[in-house]
Amino acid sequence: MHMCKGCVSMTLDERCTQIITALFNSKKCVSVERLTNQLGISKRTVYYDVQKINTWLEENKLEKVKKKHSKGYYLEKEAKEIIPKLIGEVNKFQYFYSMEERSCLIAVELLTSQMPVFIEKLMELTQVSRATVSNDLKEIKRTFLQHQLEVSFHRNSGYKITGKEELKRQLLVNYLAELMTTKKEWNNLIDQIKLPFYENDFGPKGFYVQLNSMKPLITECEEELSIELTDEAVHLLALKLIVIIQRLMHGNRITIDNDEQEALTSTTEYQASVNISRKLEMLYSIYIPDSEICFITMNLLGSKVNYSELEDSQNQEMKKLRVTVKSIVQDFQHYACILFQDSFQLEESLFKHLKPAYYRVKYNVSLKDENTENLQREFPEIFELTKKSIRQLEQLLGAQVKDSEVAYISMHLGGWLQREGKRPVQRKKAMIVCENGLGTSNILWGQLEKIVAAVDIIGSISQRQYESNPYDVDFVFATAPIKSEKHPVLIVNPILTDRDKEAVLSFVNNHNDYSIDEKTVTPTLHTIMNIVRKHTSIFDEKELIQDLSLLFSLEQGTNKVREEKPVLNELLTKETIQLKTKVANWQEAIRFASEPLIANGSITEDYVEAMITNVDELGPYVVIAPEIALPHARPEYGVEKIGMSLLLLGESTYFSKEERHRARLIVVLAAVDNEKHLKALAQLSTMLSDEEVLQDVMGAESVEDIITCIDHHSTI
């Protein structure tokens, strides 16, 4: 671009003009990385172009481009006032979009346009070349695919989005929220695009006009429900209402399952959503069907609240959530090895914050994710402790809780830790080395987690995997002797005996170097220590505190709120338990023990053969303890549904020539995944690790005798 009349004849090329325009439009420093990203050039080219711009500025008697260390470039105020007169008005049409901005613009266009969208339209919208738009579209397709939406191209109709309507709305709201952000210096980007749902009567600021018209409706809703939503929740809910109206106006309706719809209509929030809908109908002269009212209800239920006066005690769903919240707090204390002084108030506070999160996960309502990465980076232990503590919430919902929601809960629990001046003990990492397969390692994993709460079991691997890879752990639990110069190793039985449990506690204690201080010692432990000091001499107070802490963590681990997984007596029943005097060999034992599971449709014949093949190829790994075998194979070899069967033999069958590989008790496990069988497996483990109960089972003369033992351990 040329200089003004009377100036020397140097000109700024298009790229230099783009750089100076970016500096002009920004209120903050513009980093080199941002310029390389926007213009698709190298850092060296940026430096070279800035030198040219500085020469041009000097010739026009203006201050050079300034640079702040580690921040980027900026223009002085005087230069900003003069530059438009030299190169023409620098306005929004000269703004050059970054890849992130272009992606938002293109995505919103694809999600809202009622006309065919071709690449030429996107080039005009973003002011970049065909090649750049094509590259942007590749990234957009990947993003859409992560949200279960597909971007396809048709010669006659252009780009199309296929997928569920609720997912399209969710993604559109996410992009609109990004476009409206003030944090990224996006130059009021929302004003620079023409969205079909406000370009008629509302003028250039039409989007904001509509957004502001939604907020009084939300305020009335808050008053009706006696709640106060967070500012962010009000903003997002207003955005969602605009999107709902826009989609409805163009014939895009939501579909909700009848049972789900019936459940939503029974909530107090549904009536509030009806009132919002009636006002929207008058404002926009449209009809809002009941499915859309339910969709508004979902989003209202999932909105963050500052406070709520609603009483949920009569709601069965919320009663279950209260029990789960209690479990989360108990588990968090267990894993963190701390004790909250005011756990009741924490439970009440967490319940109020968790209720919207519960509905967000249940109805797949998105949460604006701004803090997850920061929290994982700054407070990794709090995040991981929370992730372990919310397993029962996931079981209640039947769905995995996203990291953004985990971060939301982490902030609440972490805040309570700070409030009480506590911090979790330094955690250790351990690995299980087990040759006995999925079922056996899961039994051991569950037992170890209960005993040593301050240890994270990061995985279960074979001996070959352990020897061939460097694992970053503090120690190893193994079910058979292994050679290791890398880590301390403790050999244990797959089903831990009392002696094993004592050995585990001692082993972990001996290899713990974390310091015990006033913030990690619970009030109960303080009391005990005071009594001990009063009546005896203590040789090593630190060791005593650590031993008692580990003992308490063992006791706390047994007080779990019941998980919603099949319990032992739901799988081992009179139909799946058999007694037999003897069998010809171990193959017959597995086949005979499997018959009840074939009969009830839990497994196929292929699964039985897979179990036998596993023993042939891998050896007698199924013998997990003296006289006990747990044959199993991977789910894909023929598991139809979760199941377990038990065969008690009068005479042992041998899985190898060695005496230690004989078994009288054969328990066949059919696991559909890594989760659903764990409760029953843990109860089986507890039952068989009790020597007295094990003798009762081994001496049983009828199925009823065994069921009596199982019933007792199905409530633990």
- The domain that contains 388 carries what CATH number? 1.10.1790
Q: pLDDT tens-digit profile of 376-399?
A: 777 777 888 888 888 888 888 888
Give every CB contact of residue 266 below 8 A, 6+ residues apart in sequence.
none
pLDDT at 27 > cutoff 80: yes
Query: Are residues 227 and 103 both part of a single domain?
Result: no
List the single range of 232-236, 348-352, 479-483, 578-582 with lowest mean pLDDT: 479-483
- 131 or 551: whose pLDDT is higher? 131
Query: Are residues 576 and 544 both part of a single domain?
Result: no
Query: Are residues 258 and 394 both part of a single domain?
Result: no
Other residues' Cβ atoms within 10 Å of the Cβ of residue 577: 23
Q: pLDDT tens-digit profile of 574-606?
A: 999 999 999 999 999 999 999 999 999 999 999
Q: pLDDT tens-digit profile of 505-531?
A: 878 877 765 444 444 444 455 556 666
Buried b (16+ CB within 10 A) or exposed e, 146-162: eeebebeeeeeebbebe
Domain that holds residue 388: 316-419
Contact 435, 389 (CB under 8 A): no
Look at residue 485 in the predicted model and tell me its pLDDT.
75
Q: Across all residues in the chain, what is the average pLDDT?
A: 80
- The domain that contains 468 carries what CATH number? 3.40.50
pLDDT at 204 > cutoff 50: no
Query: Are residues 33 and 85 both part of a single domain?
Result: yes
Look at residue 153 in the predicted model and tell me its pLDDT.
92
pLDDT at 455 > cutoff 90: no
pLDDT at 149 > cutoff 80: yes
Average pLDDT value for residue range 62-90: 81
List the single range of 34-43, 240-249, 430-439 with lowest mean pLDDT: 430-439
Tokens of 259: 């049972």
> What is the torsion angle, in degrees rounded to the nearest 10, for the CA atoms of residue 586, residue 592, residue 594 and residue 597?
-170
Q: Which residue has the tokens 């003296």?
A: 626
pLDDT at 145 > cutoff 80: yes
The residue among 304, 331, 355 that closes a domain is 304
The span from the CA of 653 to the CA of 631, in Å, is: 13
Q: Is residue 356 assigned to a domain?
A: yes
Q: Is residue 348 assigned to a domain?
A: yes
Query: Are residues 628 and 506 both part of a single domain?
Result: no
Query: Are residues 286 and 346 both part of a single domain?
Result: no
The span from the CA of 358 to the CA of 401, in Å, is: 9
Query: Are residues 162 and 148 both part of a single domain?
Result: yes
Tokens of 540: 């090593």
- The domain that contains 681 carries what CATH number? 3.40.930.10
Q: Is residue 198 assigned to a domain?
A: no
pLDDT at 74 > cutoff 70: yes
Amino acid at 629: A
DSSP letter at 191 equals G
Contact 120, 151 (CB under 8 A): no
The residue among 282, 304, 326 that closes a domain is 304
Buried b (16+ CB within 10 A) or exposed e, 532-558: eeeeeeeeeeeebbbebbbebbbebbe
Q: Is residue 8 assigned to a domain?
A: no
Q: Is residue 442 assigned to a domain?
A: yes
Q: pLDDT tens-digit profile of 268-318?
A: 889 999 999 999 999 888 999 999 999 999 998 888 777 666 555 556 788
The residue among 192, 224, 245 that closes a domain is 192
Average pLDDT value for residue range 562-573: 76
The span from the CA of 295 to the CA of 235, in Å, is: 17
Query: Are residues 575 and 700 both part of a single domain?
Result: yes
For residue 559, name the pLDDT band (cuts at 50, 70, 90).
Answer: very low
Query: Are residues 389 and 451 both part of a single domain?
Result: no
Query: Are residues 116 and 133 both part of a single domain?
Result: yes
Q: Is residue 408 assigned to a domain?
A: yes
The span from the CA of 663 to the CA of 588, in Å, is: 13
428-433 and 475-478 strand pairing: parallel
Look at residue 379 in the predicted model and tell me its pLDDT.
78
List the single range of 252-256, 263-267, 417-421 with lowest mean pLDDT: 417-421
Query: Are residues 455 and 394 both part of a single domain?
Result: no
pTM of the model: 0.51
Q: Is residue 404 assigned to a domain?
A: yes
Please state the domain count of the chain.
Answer: 6
List the single range of 117-131, 244-258, 481-495, 545-559 with lowest mean pLDDT: 545-559
Query: Are residues 89 and 104 both part of a single domain?
Result: no
